[in-house]
Structure 1
Amino acid sequence: TRGRLRPMPRTLMGVPLDTKALAETGVLSKAGLARVALDTVLPATHLDGQDVSVGWLGEERFGREVVDRLVEPLLGGVYAGHARELSARAAVPQVVALLDRDRSLMRAAAAVSVPASDVPVFAGLAGGLGTLPPAVVAAHDLDVRTDATVRELARSADGGFNLVVGATVDPEVLHADAVVLATPAAPTARLLSEVVPRAALELARIEYASMAIVTLAFRVRDVPATTGSGFLVPPVDGRAVKASTFSFAKWDWVRAAGDGPDPLLVLRCSIGRHREEAALQRPDEELVGIALHDLADAIGLCVRPVDSHVQRWGGGLPQYAVGHLERVAHVRRAVAGVPGLAVCGAAYDGLGIPACIAGAGAAATQVLAALPGRGQ
């Protein structure tokens, strides 16, 4: 940002912790830094139970530059969304909770921040997280069907549910005692349209962002020296790439996979934000070229990759608009009125894997409690 790569200051989801350290990074202008300093003398911000956007809250306390150059890239990396539209209570509840701790949001954030540590902040599985689902299946007696579209869901007259599965020309009706819908909001809404229409209406209003991941492999000798595990790009800078991950630096197994007589390094770039789907309609080779252009400006990488892969995620990231928590509460209350039915997934309580696992556990507990003789 502002013409070159700069170290990311320590923040709590974009909330600065120290004005001196922030100034040393050069991320903000002098005017932007002066506006940040006003946080310590401004009256406290009280939401009185209301929800606001993350961008509104950040700008209220620290000014526009903090939102544009710190908050936006951080949230863009998680939601591929826009800070001035995302719910503060849903996306950054830890920040909202700080409003009651101190008149200054920066002082409150600094008081609860964890000291810098050499312990890695990223964890993963050797071979990638894609190895987890088949490992779970292999470890348990499960009947898992893939590429089997569920087209309809209806309550059965004798209890449980009937699901229409498969191609329209050769459908199959499956009976289930209980159903957990872990699908994105739109298909969940379609499946619930007859069973729980109130929940379906709420779910249909959840918008999604699309994105593409451009993965690139380079010879080690061609990659300039880098620091850290990647970089974020504020949308105000007008770049196509919103983030780049130095996969070789983030996960040891990725670096080890590139070892050999002519060792390789793998990195990836993220392209696409909410309502910017047109940028993803380009052919794969154009997206690779766009990623290479931005990498050249960012780290001086000016060679063609040995190999590349473009993975598109159409409608992959739900957008937690202002009022999201209330919407989710309405959905869950409506679904709870149908014993043996539950919903879970990234559309509700968080996009991260831990949040999705927690939601899945709660959904399983809910439907099991409704089954005869399975009240625990």
Structure 2
Amino acid sequence: MNQITVVICNYNYEHYLAASIDSALAQDYPGTTVLVIDDGSTDGSRAIIEQYGNRISSVFKRNGGQVSAYNYAIEALETEFVIFLDSDDVLYPSAVSEVMRLFAHGKWAKVQFRLDVMDGAGMPTGAYVPHSEPPADCGILLMGGWLYPSPPASGNAYRVSALRRIFPVPEEGVNLYGADFYAIYGVALSGPIATVPKSLGGYRVHNADGATVSFANSEQINKAPRAFNMRWAILRNIARVRLQLELPPTFHDFSHEKASFCSSVYHATFLTRWRWMLHDSRGYLHAIVANPFWSVKKKLATLMLSSLCLVPCSPLSDFVVRYISNPLARRRAAGR
């Protein structure tokens, strides 16, 4: 039987950590082991981890950020397969069995699955991510600069040998976080991607509010574009040096462009919205029109919604931005 490790990287998430560990231990796949890497937490995380004794393996390291935790784990892993479970997320009991069934019948570099969105208290919101499924050969599209639809970190199972072609990733300077970016997209350069078309876990969103443009737990909306650009530059260098592959200087991704759209248009004046649409919306519109993962219907709907930001009605414009950027806003609108 192939073995798999569920790695939980934790930093100061004592309120959610036990639920995450319990979900990993509750997997119905017998060949599952659990490794918890605590990245220098200053809360009560250590005491929680120690309560599990030899049911899990644990590492307590100095705080170095998510990238350093991934680097450590990928070097130390003794299994050929791994899931990196965020310490505030959970896996459903059959998650590992489902992904290992696919790994057993294909040379997949990664198997991904949907995650149900939970609020901060762990209650389901009715939303899930992602909404689109990528083709198996995401590497070809990545070579053209397209980031493929992927769940957040916890919704991905990897072949460790594929990850080791990308990691370790530089930890210096501002590149402390976003390790899942390199795993999700870098691994597609090493082999095909498989998708389980159903939810196998829960993704906790701490600001789960459909009344805001903010969605997910990553960088603030105005910082995300800069962070993605930096990570793409680092991934390009890794691909060039280690894989002898040349990625394009820029990339295309609706989530990335959506962040620019939101930070520029939300709560903006009528003139500012028009100015952005006329002068700065090229990347945003290209990510819609040329999107290889979307249907024509979805493209037209998104373009029509985006055009409503040009009407001289700020409340309507702000509603449209929230609707486009935050899946939870769509749930609220549908429930009215």
TM-score between both structures, scaled by the size of structure 2: 0.29
**Greater CA radius of gyration, 1 or 2?**
1
